[in-house]
Structure 1
Amino acid sequence: MRGWGRWQAAALLAVMVALSLVMGGGVARAESNGGVRVMPLGDSITEGTQVPGGYRIGLWQRLAAGRYTVDFVGSQFNGPGNLSDHDHEGHPGWRIDQIDANITRWAQTYTPRTVLLHIGTNDVLQNYNVSSAPQRLSTLIDHITAAAPNADVFVATIIPLSNSGQEAAVRTFNAAVPGIVQSKVNGGKHVHLVDMHAALTTADLIDGIHPTAGGYDKMAATWYNALLSVSGSIGLPGSPPSGGGAIRGVGSGRCVDVAGVSQANGAAAQLWDCNGQVNQQWTSTGAGELRVYGGKCLDVANQSTADGAAVQIWDCNGQNNQKWRFNTDGTITAVGANKCLDVPNNATANGTRLAIWSCNGGANQRWTRA
């Protein structure tokens, strides 16, 4: 009986540990659905103090409703059952310098495609060299962009604090953030400003510091709208851009296809009934390519920028006529020409050859993942 009691105690302890990881904090379980890798990065407001999961709950739900396939990443893990991916990099009590001391390792480990950064609150709360906090933030952003140069980094102003003196410090800190972000943009970095302070008021705080459930949801909505504004940051609705998948025309219901299942340079891109074959499996890369067969890229013939220029496949070479940008309205822009992937004359028939054309938002220029 003593052995049975020890077994019961061990089992109970295991259950309690598992529950603590889901509802409280813990080490990451590396949940993944294969989608775009997004790192929520910051302090207790990212972790979700007072409301485990915090803004990540509402953000995940919005992403799912929008049919975006996203993989939250990070070394930490918490949140309720209706948050399907609990991974994050939120550390209660941490300041900018503490995040900075670890960010290179985290970025190399989890290779985020997108970073959501909300940090600086504890610098204010701890009165930790507040006047130099903007410079620490600038340095942190530099380290993020160096470790993850292809990632989009969304930098938020920090949310309000109820204490009037601390709130004054928050406003001073936040006033420096737009200039910091713009300096990174001027340097060619993929950095974006998110005005999170304006999204909440002190009425949205449960303890003067952390948001209520409703406040966290306001944060979720603000993050989501920011992500939607930057093409590629959360991929294309319906399928993970990191893996192969079909691209279906909204107007035709047919898929982007390589004619004759050819792998020859110059083989035409066309419409064809979606069939799941290898010549309809397009993989988006961090370089902006759309690859098929592994080493062939969707290509604008002869690097043309003219309306009606043919779209084909060619050996991937990194040139701008092989770079494509997914837009939130479903269009796909040929970066080199700044024109849209187009089905000429609104055709819907099998074998219709694809081209580029000035973007107009028509159904013949809109696409979804099949």
Structure 2
Amino acid sequence: MRSNACALFSARRKSSGGYGLFTLFLSVAVMIAAAALPGVAQEAVAADAPGCSAHATSFATAPVEEGTTGLRIGCARDAGGLRGLARGDDDLVAAVDFNPGDRSEQLHELMQQLVDTTKKDQANGLSLGDSLTLQTERNSIGYYQQPGDSIDYDGSVQIVGDSLVFVVPAGDIAAAGFADGFWKKFVAGLAAGAAGIAASALCMIILNASAAILGAVCGAVGGGVAGGVGELLNAVLEEKPIDAEVWGSVLGSAMAGAVAGGAGGWLLKFVTAGSTSLVLNIQNSLREWASKLGAWGNPLGAVANILRDGNVAERVIEAVRRGVGGFGTRDVALRVMPLGDSITYGTGSTSGAGYRSTLYSKLNEQGEVEYVGSQWSGPAISPNSHEGHPGWLIGDIAGIADSVLTTYRPNVVLLHIGTNDMSNNVDPDGAPARLGSLIDQILRNDPKVTLLVSTIVPSAFPGTNARIARYNAAIPGVVEARRAAGKHVRLVRMNAVTTANLADGLHPDNLGYQKMAAAFYDGLLSAAEDGWLAGPGGGDGPVGGPVKGWFPQGTIAGGVGATGSHIRFADINGDGRADYLKVNDDSSVQAWLNGGPNPKEPAGSDWLWFPQGTIAGGVGATGTRVRFAPLYGTHSADYVLLGSGDGVNYDSSAQVWQNGGLNPKEPAGSDWLWYPGGTVASGVGVDGAHIQFADLNNDGRADYLDVDPQNGATRAWINYG
């Protein structure tokens, strides 16, 4: 098997003509042929081959034209000067050869980046195969996501002269099963990495620009091509239909989404000059190999024809021109509300702004834009208002949607919601219906608003990700039903964000957020082309003010080892926030002052509570008779004892001890000052359990209420002091 494995890779080819870009091309030849003609592939693997020499393995160095690449691949025994890099004769050696021309330093930097990234991944426990796959996923353009597999192999990669040399031990090939998928994964990873480097090199050859521009533009080209090539190959190998025009459009959009500012014009210059030559070179290379591979070459000619008929180069240029040209002359000011959960908030990004800062930069280049919302996160120098609420569910957003839309009056809403429904397994099957109701609610509030609804990003946790996949599969239908009815709602797919782009298994990292920004930007371009963007309503700007609704905070206090009947909430220090009180059976009281949400936990799931110890020693009565209410208009809650009796039955009279605040002699708060005020209410002839205190007329003094426990009917006595 090991000899056959090397033998199947025995052919060597040099890419030909013009700006031959990709190491991809030879790899495509072998891979597509085997994928499209499985019978031939299996026959070749099964052939009786006594050794590599019988299959004309050769590592002879051939000239490589500037801007092109060559590939030497086969068994280590035939690798000549590269033999020393392998441990055994049957190890697989693949050398990707480049001609750097006058860009030697830059090319070697690109090669070194791939080597360093691979070694770092391996140091973190990944194999060579997993590292190459992960690098493709990090650069995903969202065309095709390859299903996971169990194929694994290790090896090494290093730079030798102007070549990248990969070595895979024969044992790893045998363990992975050559015919069972090793060759697919190896060549796909090899092709994607080499394609990215070669694409960046071609970009540098074509453009005459500063180092900063070359870094930005050619980096975007290389990353896009690496991801795009990897996904195209995986689609072919999984025998999925290829839509060349869609692939070209997605590739161009990904490149455009990765650049900003003046770099966009240079990107357009590159694709305008190089895309046609690039695609023609793919066609010519595939046809050349087809003529030399006989029956193996039939699929190559077919793919070449698909690329010819698909107008791929035109689609790439069109997508880049659309992406970097943006809205053109835009007279409509954008008032954008990012709406959602912690991903909208920006959790996982180093800036704290998530996708919002990147998107704002692109939009702000082309016209007036502002973000609106009651929340704020991200750099102080950036406009980072939003409605991203960590931990919120779809239903939670629905609870404030009417209020925030009325308050801030956006003309664009960017909705990414459902992650917590899936992560917390909250009725995931009902989530699409809840999303549909939320969409209807938003559009009912303002039929003119442009609503972009995105699929949600994946999760690294298998159970959560399975629920996300089902939810995402339903979202297009939910959106399309409203769109078909004439509503201004559009789907934005976040397919380009993969699990390789996650910071913590649930939230994107910086690259993932950049991909989200590119997807939302592309959705806005489509909305603009449809003529949906209208000026924001409400005059000169949002009215501001508090957002109405109920904001879920989760568990804000973990408890203090007492039953709930012992707990009261009242503002005892007059700061406007209710504090946590534990009233004991003997009427003594411990307190924890409310410090508000923990800034390290923006979801509010961990509030700050400052212990004060025992603030009241009790008055010789049962704790069930104790209430706290501000009776004197000082904003601090006073200690109130209802009635007299055995603790179960007591009358409705009330005695009070006025809150004097912290005892200055006891700064720790363990002994507060309470001034006896005597009996302030003689009762109203009912059981004391009926009595409550609340400020009904906003004068700062709690009023006396008799609430019927059977039907809730309430009698009131206003507190006039």
Normalised to the residue count of structure 2, the TM-score between the two structures is 0.27
For residue 242 of structure 1, report the CA deviation from its aligned partner.
6.1
For residue 202 of structure 1, report the CA deviation from its aligned partner.
0.4
Deviations 1:33-53 (A, max 9, x none): x93211100000000012211
The equivalent of 2:180 in structure 1 is none
Is structure 2 residue 443 aligned with structure 1 residue 150?
no
Please tell me the residue identity of whatever aligns with 1:188. G
1:173 to 461, 471, 474: 471
2:499 to 202, 218, 225: 202
The equivalent of 2:528 in structure 1 is 231
Instruction: Name the count of aligned residue pairs.
Output: 205
Is the CA contact (8 Å cut-off) linking 2:391 and 2:420 kept in structure 1?
yes
Please tell me the residue identity of whatever aligns with 2:525. L
C-alpha change, 1:128 and 1:235, in structure 2 (3 Å) is: closer
Is the CA contact (8 Å cut-off) linking 1:36 and 1:113 kept in structure 2?
yes
Take 2:413 and 2:530, find their aligned partners in 1: how far apart are those partners? 9
The equivalent of 2:364 in structure 1 is 64
Could you tell me which runs of 5 or more consecutive residues in structure 1 were left unpaired when the two chains were aligned: 1-33, 244-282, 284-370
Considering only aligned residues, what root-mean-square deviation do their CA atoms show, in Å?
2.3
Please tell me the residue identity of whatever aligns with 2:415. L
For residue 186 of structure 1, report the CA deviation from its aligned partner.
2.0
Take 2:530 and 2:507, find their aligned partners in 1: how far apart are those partners? 27
Q: With CA pairs under 8 Å and 6+ residues apart, which has the higher RCO, 1 or 2? A: 1
Is structure 2 residue 379 aligned with structure 1 residue 80?
yes
Take 1:138 and 1:171, find their aligned partners in 2: how far apart are those partners? 17
Deviations 1:262-314 (A, max 9, x none): xxxxxxxxxxxxxxxxxxxxx9xxxxxxxxxxxxxxxxxxxxxxxxxxxxxxx
Take 1:92 and 1:113, find their aligned partners in 2: how far apart are those partners? 24
Please tell me the residue identity of whatever aligns with 1:169. R
Could you tell me which runs of 5 or more consecutive residues in structure 2 were left unpaired when the two chains were aligned: 1-331, 540-721
Take 2:396 and 2:530, find their aligned partners in 1: how far apart are those partners? 26
The equivalent of 1:159 in structure 2 is 457
For residue 235 of structure 1, report the CA deviation from its aligned partner.
9.2
Please tell me the residue identity of whatever aligns with 2:445. A
Pick the structure with greater CA Rg: 2
Take 1:57 and 1:204, find their aligned partners in 2: how far apart are those partners? 17
Deviations 1:25-68 (A, max 9, x none): xxxxxxxxx93211100000000012211000110111123x22
Take 2:531 and 2:343, find their aligned partners in 1: how far apart are those partners? 22
Deviations 1:308-327 (A, max 9, x none): xxxxxxxxxxxxxxxxxxxx
Is the CA contact (8 Å cut-off) linking 2:335 and 2:371 kept in structure 1?
yes
Please tell me the residue identity of whatever aligns with 1:77. W
SS at match of 2:528: coil
Take 1:98 and 1:41, find their aligned partners in 2: how far apart are those partners? 11
Is the CA contact (8 Å cut-off) linking 1:117 and 1:154 kept in structure 2?
yes
Take 2:524 and 2:456, find their aligned partners in 1: how far apart are those partners? 17
Is the CA contact (8 Å cut-off) linking 2:460 and 2:506 kept in structure 1?
yes
Is the CA contact (8 Å cut-off) linking 2:409 and 2:536 kept in structure 1?
no
Take 2:386 and 2:354, find their aligned partners in 1: how far apart are those partners? 11
For residue 241 of structure 1, report the CA deviation from its aligned partner.
5.5
C-alpha change, 1:168 and 1:242, in structure 2 (3 Å) is: closer
Deviations 1:86-132 (A, max 9, x none): 11000000000000111011111111101100000000111101110
The equivalent of 1:97 in structure 2 is 395
Take 1:86 and 1:98, find their aligned partners in 2: how far apart are those partners? 21
Please tell me the residue identity of whatever aligns with 2:353. G
SS at match of 1:154: strand
The equivalent of 2:353 in structure 1 is 53
2:413 to 105, 108, 115: 115
SS at match of 1:40: strand
Is the CA contact (8 Å cut-off) linking 1:228 and 1:234 kept in structure 2?
no
Please tell me the residue identity of whatever aligns with 1:229. S
Take 1:190 and 1:242, find their aligned partners in 2: how far apart are those partners? 14
SS at match of 2:457: coil
Please tell me the residue identity of whatever aligns with 2:423. L
Is structure 2 residue 430 aligned with structure 1 residue 132?
yes
Take 1:232 and 1:98, find their aligned partners in 2: how far apart are those partners? 33
C-alpha change, 1:235 and 1:53, in structure 2 (3 Å) is: farther
**If each structure's helix is expressed as a fraction of its own residues, which one has the higher value?**
2
Is the CA contact (8 Å cut-off) linking 1:47 and 1:91 kept in structure 2?
yes
C-alpha change, 1:178 and 1:235, in structure 2 (3 Å) is: closer
Deviations 1:139-193 (A, max 9, x none): 0000000012100100000001001121111010011101101110122211100
Could you list the structure 1 runs, at least 4 aligned residues long, displaced by more than 3 angstroms after superposition: 232-236, 240-243
Is the CA contact (8 Å cut-off) linking 1:41 and 1:90 kept in structure 2?
yes
